Amino acid sequence: MKKVAIVQSNYIPWKGYFDLINSVDEFVLYDDMQYTRRDWRNRNKIKMPQGPTWLTIPVEVKGKYFQKINETRISDPGWAKQHWSSIKQCYSKAPYFKQYSARFENMYVSMNEEHLSQVNFKFIQMINDILGITTKLSWSSEFILEEGQTEKLLGICRQAGADCYISGPAAKDYFNEDIAQEMGIKVEWMDYSGYPEYPQLFEPFEHGVSILDLIFNVGPSAQSYMKSFKK
């Protein structure tokens, strides 16, 4: 059975995002969809002594114009060095920061992509490699998109040769499982509850931060604090 997930790209996502990637055979970045403000597309949280704080990539947004995620351009080329400076300030004393810092620093200081989607893709690809995730990454632009929210997703699944579609629970609000049943595609929903806590630098514990927090704090043991590696 081939399993596929279809999700918009996020910037340095949290561990649940990577659990979803690791749960499927092909992960499709759904960046033909509309860019949404104040969302996870261009920002995520890291853990500072005073609590979680946002790292946000500045982007150009054209008012009411329908702007796709993969059309969204970065507005300030200096963002990457600023983000890396904040990450160093936050995690320099984390147990595994030195083990991974050179790789992340190289990514940040050499980042010259002008489009948000490409930035997100590069970080997702690199973090997959660090975590040992080998799932195929694709773009929704590689597929013919059908009309209708559910039909678009299932059309991609069908073209990808998928027997099973796995989604985050938020999609339950609009996804029509009857259509999937008619097409013979099984639907499974991710459960993001019940994650174990791991040693974090600052209390209180916070699950909803970037995967960088898990990597810098527990290093090679990151898989043991994720769900998909235990199956």
The structure's pTM equals 0.96
The pLDDT tens digits of the residues spanning 30-74 come to 999 999 988 999 999 999 999 999 999 999 998 767 899 999 999
Mean pLDDT along residues 188-199: 96
The pLDDT tens digits of the residues spanning 3-26 come to 999 999 999 999 999 999 999 999
Output the 3-class SS for the chain: CCEEEEECCCCCCCHHHHHHHHCCCEEEECCCCECCCCCCCCEEEEEECCEEEEEECCECCCCCCCCEHHHCEECCCCHHHHHHHHHHHHHCCCCCHHHHHHHHHHHHHCCCCCEHHHHHHHHHHHHHHHHCCCCEEEEHHHCCCCCCHHHHHHHHHHHHCCCEEEECHHHHHCCCHHHHHHHCCEEEECCCCCCCCCCCCCCCCCCCCCHHHHHHHHHHHHHHHCCHHHC
